[in-house]
Structure 1
Amino acid sequence: MTFRHTVLITGASSGLGAEMARQLAALGHDLALCARRTDRLDMLRAEILAAHPERRVAVRSLDVNDHDQVFEVFRAFRDELGGIDRVVVNAGLGKGAPLGTGRFDANRETAMTNFVGALAQTEAAMELFRAAGGGHLVMVSSMSAVRGLPGTVTTYAATKAGVAHLAEGLRTELHGQEGYAVTVLYPGYIISEMNDYAQPTSPLMATTERGVRAMVAAMEKEVDAAEVPRLPWQVLAPVMRHAPLHVFKRMI
């Protein structure tokens, strides 16, 4: 395991991305934070620097659906901070509708942002890492990637399975090459802006702080893959994968 000093996080203006930035700064990492809402990034930067004045925190506007901008922003962060050691592909959205119900627009937007946008981020990250001779890619997938889900989350779950396979294929390619690591995170139910209507009233729902603590611990260890938080999701993952369909449907 290598200490990855400078971490780039996409979708860092709120929710899981913002909390990752706070926790990684506390662990000693410098940060490159990007998202569409720069006002929130500026507030987060000020908060982190007030708590950790020794940290370096760079912020830039980024819409991951502007693919040329993805490459420009990643390169600009590298130049500003003298290198990027870890990239966390976190930006995404959760729009969706049951297939065939007239909302292809919502499903297409989710597919473009969560998969094609993630592909652009991965390409841009690997461009930096290959030039530097190493780096750590962290792909934020979802427990929804474990098995296809129905209704409004069908497309979302498919995109999260897709990005997991994207990262896993890259890990296979890089296996045995010193200096590289690829981690896929499979978060379960964690309170975030995407589901801020929810409350942690169930043992399956983790607070943002607890959920992100598990995510950060996994990425710091540079594990290949992790269901987070470990309990209950490490136990539930094989059940979700292998339960008969009529049982699985009742579970969800």
Structure 2
Amino acid sequence: MTSVVLITGASSGLGEGMAREFAARGCSLALCARRMDRLEQLQADIQRDHPGVDVRVATLDVNDHDAVFQVFDAFCEQFGRIDRVLVNAGIGKGQPLGTGRFDANRETAETDFVAALAQFEAAMAIFRRQNHGHLVAVSSISAVRGMPGNMTVYGATKAGVASLAEGLRVELRKKASPIRVTTLLPGYILTAINEDVKNAPFRVDLETGCRAMVAAIEKGRPVACVPPWPWTPIAFLLRRLPESILARMF
């Protein structure tokens, strides 16, 4: 049976890249984002390259929390089920704390954490009804430690997303539920969020990064750094380095 994969933030970046990867694997796609023109172009591209793939699109601003539930439920009704939800939509507008940019930090927190919570809720409501499903939380390597400057709020939101996913995994394991939860911790994958970052270490192109993300999702691992090399050992070190060393690194 063909899997039905719902991806938020699918009009660009990681969302678009993962949509193309899942299409190549023959999955049906429920794609949503704010920019319908970009979604329709992606839909046309996928249907041209993979004629047998069912692709449906919907406009969604994840900060409209009621709309998150409505769009997810509408996709579920259209396809008859949703097998996998990728909580991917996000922004990277964080600024150093106390520099007069509370507006940017609040927007980052609302989009990357509160809106992610709405997506978790909507996805899990569907999965609990179905008694199956795979929730994928796109976090970040920046979630493993507190980060300075522009990364402080962004990293904190991604740590929050990872914590939500872990708590949910523990709950589902306790209940022996068939529902699975995966947390992805991407390193530097070239997208609009980080294209202006100078000296981004070990950055890979979008296609390489998204292929690694989809491979990790398909394996169903609880937590995965992507690409695994070198980000798995980097994450291990980041969790253990003293703050004095982190201050010199970033």
Is the structural similarity TM-score above 0.5?
yes
Amino acid at match of 2:7: I
Q: 1:104 — aligned with what?
A: 102
Q: For residue 180 of structure 1, report the CA deviation from its aligned partner.
A: 1.0
Aligned to 1:75, the other structure's residue is in SS state helix
Q: Is the 8 A contact 2:188 2:202 kept in 1?
A: yes
Q: For residue 4 of structure 1, report the CA deviation from its aligned partner.
A: 7.0
Structure-1-length-normalised TM-score: 0.95
Once the two structures are superposed, residues 141-183 of structure 1 have per-residue CA deviations (whole angstroms, 9 ceiling, x without a partner) of 0000010001111100000000000011000010153421100
Q: For residue 81 of structure 1, report the CA deviation from its aligned partner.
A: 1.2
Q: 2:21 — aligned with what?
A: 23
Q: Is the 8 A contact 2:2 2:26 kept in 1?
A: no
Q: 1:12 — aligned with what?
A: 10
Structure 1 Cα separation of the partners of residues 159 and 41 of structure 2 = 33
Q: Is the 8 A contact 1:183 1:224 kept in 2?
A: yes
Q: 2:180 — aligned with what?
A: 181
Q: For residue 198 of structure 1, report the CA deviation from its aligned partner.
A: 5.4
Q: For residue 82 of structure 1, report the CA deviation from its aligned partner.
A: 1.3
Q: 1:195 — aligned with what?
A: 194
Q: Tell me how large the CA RMSD over aligned residues is.
A: 1.4
Structure 2 Cα separation of the partners of residues 224 and 51 of structure 1 = 31
After superposition, the Cα gap between the structure-2 partners of 1:154 and 1:224, relative to the gap in structure 1 and judged at 3 Å, is: same
After superposition, the Cα gap between the structure-2 partners of 1:147 and 1:198, relative to the gap in structure 1 and judged at 3 Å, is: closer
Amino acid at match of 2:192: E
In the TM superposition, 1:111-122 aligns within 5 A as 111-122=109-120
Structure 2 Cα separation of the partners of residues 202 and 108 of structure 1 = 25
1:166 aligned to 2:164?
Answer: yes
1:33 aligned to 2:27?
Answer: no
Amino acid at match of 1:56: D
Structure 1 segments of 4 or more deviating over 4 A? none
Once the two structures are superposed, residues 110-156 of structure 1 have per-residue CA deviations (whole angstroms, 9 ceiling, x without a partner) of 00000000000000000100010110000000000010001111100
Q: Which 5+ residue runs of structure 2 have no aligned equivalent?
A: none
Aligned to 2:62, the other structure's residue is in SS state coil
Count of paired positions: 249
Structure 1 Cα separation of the partners of residues 249 and 197 of structure 2 = 18
In the TM superposition, 1:51-70 aligns within 5 A as 51-70=49-68
After superposition, the Cα gap between the structure-2 partners of 1:90 and 1:4, relative to the gap in structure 1 and judged at 3 Å, is: farther
Structure 2 Cα separation of the partners of residues 47 and 177 of structure 1 = 40
Amino acid at match of 2:249: M
Q: For residue 250 of structure 1, report the CA deviation from its aligned partner.
A: 2.1
Amino acid at match of 1:20: M
Q: For residue 193 of structure 1, report the CA deviation from its aligned partner.
A: 1.9
Structure-2-length-normalised TM-score: 0.96
Q: 2:240 — aligned with what?
A: 242
Aligned to 2:10, the other structure's residue is in SS state coil
Amino acid at match of 1:153: M
After superposition, the Cα gap between the structure-2 partners of 1:61 and 1:202, relative to the gap in structure 1 and judged at 3 Å, is: closer
